[in-house]
Amino acid sequence: MALKRTGSIGMSDSTTNVPPKYVPPKVWQWEKETESRFANINRPIAGATKEQELPVGKHSLQLYSLATPNGVKVTMLLEELLAKGIEAAEYDAWLINIGDGDQFGSGFVDINPNSKIPALVDHSTPKPTRIFESGAIMLYLAEKFNAFVPMQEPGRAECLSWLFWQIGSAPYLGGGFGHFYAYAPEKWEYPINRFAMEIKRQLDVLDQNLAERRYLCGDEYTIADMAVYSWYGQLVLTGLYESKEFLQVDSYTNLVRWATEIHERPATRRGRKVNRASKSGIAERHDASDLDALEK
Ligand SMILES: N[C@@H](CCC(=O)N[C@@H](CS)C(=O)NCC(=O)O)C(=O)O
């Protein structure tokens, strides 16, 4: 339904608004949510809300995260590096419970002013190095250990293009489609249509690329595959937002073939279990044996 344009500021007519009669005020006001599952998360201001130091374990790499798609892509990479025999990639992974607002603790905000998981601190540098944004963390680790990112052109440009494609595209999947299809208090047709259209377009972009290639950038498995798998692979295989039927994900056969191959990698299986506070995972990881114990 098209919104009628009225007056000079181009605002909509209250008779056609959804919900009916809603007219945006001149100045937006923050009405604190109390009921919603996002009450501890949503706020229009940045910064710490409480003093909360971060724990530090024995390894150089300290990860503060949660097993959401943005968290999983980093633990998948760390487990791949370890599977390659790179011992310096050993890490401690600490749980940041975003539902409880841990991302607004002072220690976490010091390492990520944007208050979102994942965040990493590398203590092997002369002064500890903080890295936030999952794509930046993946690139940092891949470059540090010279693995899973091509160092030569044109492979490098292709890999970074697909990595950044994921970072730019996934907010439409999670923040757009997932939010309105699964989490919003009511089912509104307009945003669900808008974002379903965009997500199907994105799935088709991936499917067409994977019709020609084994992995996203060619024959080599890279950080771009891990990043895209964590969102789009998990969507088509495990049904993020319970939307498999709605989006007809099985019709993207090349994407399903690629996702299945990645899903079955031992490092993927291990990485998906880290910072998962349920029986199927481990809340914290400090040693390879923590995951080994779970696999028995
Ligand atoms: N662009 C960021 C997105 C990170 C992100 O959105 N993390 C979510 C969990 S998947 C989060 O921490 N949300 C907590 C909040 O929004 O307060 C990245 O790729 O690292």
The CATH number of residue 117's host domain is 3.40.30.10
Question: For residue 181, is it within any domain?
Answer: yes
Residue matched to tokens 């279990």: 273
Ligand 1 closest atom vs CA 167: 19
What average pLDDT does the structure give for the chain? 93
CA of 16 to the centre of ligand 1 (A): 34
The finding on whether 134 has its CB within 6 A of some atom of ligand 1 is: yes
Q: Which residue puts its alpha carbon closest to atom 19 of ligand 1?
A: 134
Does residue 293 carry a pLDDT above 70?
Answer: yes
Burial of 190 (C-beta count, 10 Å sphere; 0-12/13-18/19+): exposed
Q: Which residue has the higher pLDDT, 269 or 35?
A: 269
Does residue 9 carry a pLDDT above 90?
Answer: no
93 and 239 housed in the same domain: no
Ligand 1 closest atom vs CA 118: 20
Question: Total structural domains in the chain?
Answer: 2
Q: Residue 11: what pLDDT?
A: 60
Question: For residue 12, is it within any domain?
Answer: no
197-254 pLDDT tens trace:
999 999 999 999 999 999 999 999 999 999 999 999 999 999 899 999 999 999 999 9
Does residue 10 carry a pLDDT above 70?
Answer: no
The finding on whether 73 has its CB within 6 A of some atom of ligand 1 is: no
Q: How far is the C-alpha of 93 from the C-alpha of 274, rounded, in Å?
A: 7
CA of 69 to the centre of ligand 1 (A): 9
Q: Which residue puts its alpha carbon closest to atom 1 of ligand 1?
A: 133
Pairing of the two strands 119-122 and 129-132: antiparallel
Cβ–Cβ < 8 Å for 216, 210: yes
pTM: 0.94
| Distance, C-alpha 9 to centroid of its chain | 36
The finding on whether 41 has its CB within 6 A of some atom of ligand 1 is: yes
Question: For residue 119, is it within any domain?
Answer: yes
Does residue 4 carry a pLDDT above 80?
Answer: no
85-121 pLDDT tens trace:
999 999 999 999 999 999 999 999 999 999 999 999 9
Q: Residue 12: what pLDDT?
A: 60
Q: Residue 90: what pLDDT?
A: 98
Q: Which residue puts its alpha carbon closest to atom 11 of ligand 1?
A: 116
The finding on whether 68 has its CB within 6 A of some atom of ligand 1 is: yes
User: Which residues on neighbouring strands pair with residue 91, listed in sequence order?
Assistant: 61
User: How confident is the model over 258-283, as a mean pLDDT?
Assistant: 97
The DSSP secondary structure of 90-132, one letter per residue, reads -EEEEE--GGGTGGGBHHHHHH-TT--S-EEEETTSSSPEEEE
217 and 178 housed in the same domain: yes
**Residue 7, token pair as written in the block:** 């007056």
123-133 pLDDT tens trace:
999 999 999 99
Question: For residue 36, is it within any domain?
Answer: no
Sign of CA dihedral 143, 147, 153, 159: negative
Q: Which residue has the higher pLDDT, 279 or 261?
A: 261
Question: For residue 31, is it within any domain?
Answer: no
CA atoms within 13 A on the CB side of 37: 5
Does residue 2 carry a pLDDT above 70?
Answer: no
133 and 171 housed in the same domain: no
Q: At what angle do helices 189-212 and 253-263 cross, to 10 degrees?
A: 80
CA of 206 to the centre of ligand 1 (A): 23
Question: For residue 1, what pLDDT band results from cuts at 50, 70 and 90?
Answer: very low
Q: Tell me the residue range of the domain where 130 lies.
A: 61-148+279-295
CA of 23 to the centre of ligand 1 (A): 30
Sign of CA dihedral 101, 107, 109, 111: negative
Q: Residue 295: what pLDDT?
A: 73
132 and 175 housed in the same domain: no
Question: For residue 18, is it within any domain?
Answer: no
Q: How far is the C-alpha of 181 from the C-alpha of 188, rounded, in Å?
A: 8
161 and 110 housed in the same domain: no
User: Which residues on neighbouring strands pair with residue 5, listed in sequence order?
Assistant: 12
